[in-house]
């Protein structure tokens, strides 16, 4: 499994494809803060999207995708100069039995059609993924002609037109496809993306991340990681921190604790088994490290998470 897939699977991404929106005339909506990630695509027409207190609206054309990552209130509009209405209230008032939101704005017949949804992540390691992403990612259709997202657009258009057999499973799977391919397209569109995603595409640091993820129980040291990717210890430590945002062994510790939390929540493994899997020689050493990370003992964490 590649590192991006490893993180997304460990995060237990919950994805949902929301209903289709069709707006005529002039309109503008404000949406409240959200958790983790929102996404959308323009099926037809032209859409303005911007974040509260942010830069000028991004203008999206048919076939464009966008992703919102910082949880701040945001706006969508056919005319950004209009006073915005409350988005959720307005949507709920005109949502049809087929789930499609059809809104009649002020004058004109111009139609804007969109599909969108959300991703939420179970674990706080989402911060690794989102830390260095811009608050608004805008991917233009003209740059996606040979990218899988251009085919996903047609599937989104189909799935949001009306109810189909297996719609719930298909919608969730489509949303997950959007997440992976938007992140891929974002990385590919930039010479050197910042943060963790950019680090994945760096030959040396990407290899080190892959080793940490595929072999979390290995007795890694700063020197052994540097040797494995053919760098000096100092150069490796400096480059890793500049790209990832944390020191190599601190990142490894965070990743091990992420795996431990997932195992405590979802498996029946003993503490000794989990400790061995994430690189600790005893359950006592593991328990000390886990409590330092979470403020709870592994046993208490398991009980509380299962109860929740």
Same domain, 90 and 49: yes
Same domain, 159 and 184: yes
Domain CATH number, residue 282: 1.10.10.60
pLDDT, position 164: 52
pLDDT, position 96: 86
pLDDT, position 305: 84
Same domain, 25 and 120: yes
Number of H helices and number of E strands within the chain?
A: 13, 12
Domain boundary (193, 219, 252) is at: 193
pLDDT, position 87: 94
Same domain, 208 and 188: no
Same domain, 158 and 91: yes
Domain boundary (193, 217, 239) is at: 193
Same domain, 173 and 219: no
CA distance 86 to 127: 29
Q: Name, in order, each residue with C-beta under 8 angstroms of 235's C-beta and a sequence gap of 6 or more.
A: 226
The crossing angle, in degrees rounded to 10, of helices 233-244 and 248-266 is 60
pLDDT, position 194: 66
Domain boundary (126, 160, 193) is at: 193
pLDDT, position 308: 63
- For the chain, what is the domain count? 2
The residue behind tokens 């899988």 is 148
Same domain, 179 and 213: no
Same domain, 177 and 209: no
Same domain, 188 and 232: no
**Distance between start and end Cα atoms, the chain:** 30
pLDDT, position 98: 78
In sequence order, the β-bridge partners of residue 14 are: 120
Question: What range does the domain containing 130 cover?
Answer: 3-193
Same domain, 243 and 165: no
pLDDT, position 123: 60
DSSP symbol at 122: S
Domain CATH number, residue 71: 2.60.120.10
Same domain, 180 and 257: no
Q: Name, in order, each residue with C-beta under 8 angstroms of 272's C-beta and a sequence gap of 6 or more.
A: 282, 283
Q: What CA–CA distances, in Å, run from 97 to 135, 163, 255?
A: 33, 10, 44
Burial of 172 (0-12, 13-18, 19+ CB in 10 A): middle
- Give the mean pLDDT per block of 10 residues along the chain (308 residues): 65 64 94 88 93 90 90 94 95 87 84 85 65 83 76 68 55 70 76 72 89 91 96 96 90 90 89 93 93 92 84
Same domain, 151 and 131: yes
């Amino acid at each position: 499994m590649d590192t991006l897939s490893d993180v997304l699977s460990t995060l237990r991404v919950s994805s949902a494809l929301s209903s289709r929106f069709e707006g005529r005339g002039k309109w503008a909506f404000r949406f409240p803060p959200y958790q983790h990630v929102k996404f959308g695509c323009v099926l037809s027409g032209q859409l303005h999207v911007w974040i509260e207190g942010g830069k000028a609206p991004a203008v999206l054309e048919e076939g464009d995708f966008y992703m919102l990552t910082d949880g701040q209130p945001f706006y969508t509009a056919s005319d950004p100069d209009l006073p915005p209405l409350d988005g959720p209230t307005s949507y709920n008032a005109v949502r049809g039995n087929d789930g499609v939101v059809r809104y009649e704005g002020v004058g004109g017949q111009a139609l804007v059609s969109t599909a969108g949804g959300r991703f939420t992540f179970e674990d706080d390691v989402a911060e690794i993924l989102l830390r260095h992403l811009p608050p608004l990612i805008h991917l233009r259709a003209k740059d996606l002609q040979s990218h899988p997202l251009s085919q996903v657009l047609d599937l989104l258009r189909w799935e949001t037109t009306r109810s189909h057999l297996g719609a719930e499973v298909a919608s969730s799977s489509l949303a997950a496809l959007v997440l992976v391919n938007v992140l891929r397209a974002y990385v590919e569109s930039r010479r050197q993306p910042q943060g963790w995603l950019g680090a994945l595409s760096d030959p040396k640091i990407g290899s080190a991340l892959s080793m940490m993820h595929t072999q979390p129980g290995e007795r890694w040291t700063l020197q052994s990681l540097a040797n494995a990717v053919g760098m000096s210890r100092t150069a490796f430590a400096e480059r890793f921190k500049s790209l990832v945002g944390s020191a190599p062994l601190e990142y490894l510790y965070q990743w091990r604790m992420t795996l431990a939390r997932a195992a405590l929540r979802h498996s029946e493994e003993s503490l000794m088994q989990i400790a061995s899997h994430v690189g600790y020689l005893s359950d006592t050493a593991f328990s000390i490290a886990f409590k330092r990370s979470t403020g709870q003992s592994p046993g208490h964490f398991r009980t509380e998470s299962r109860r929740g």
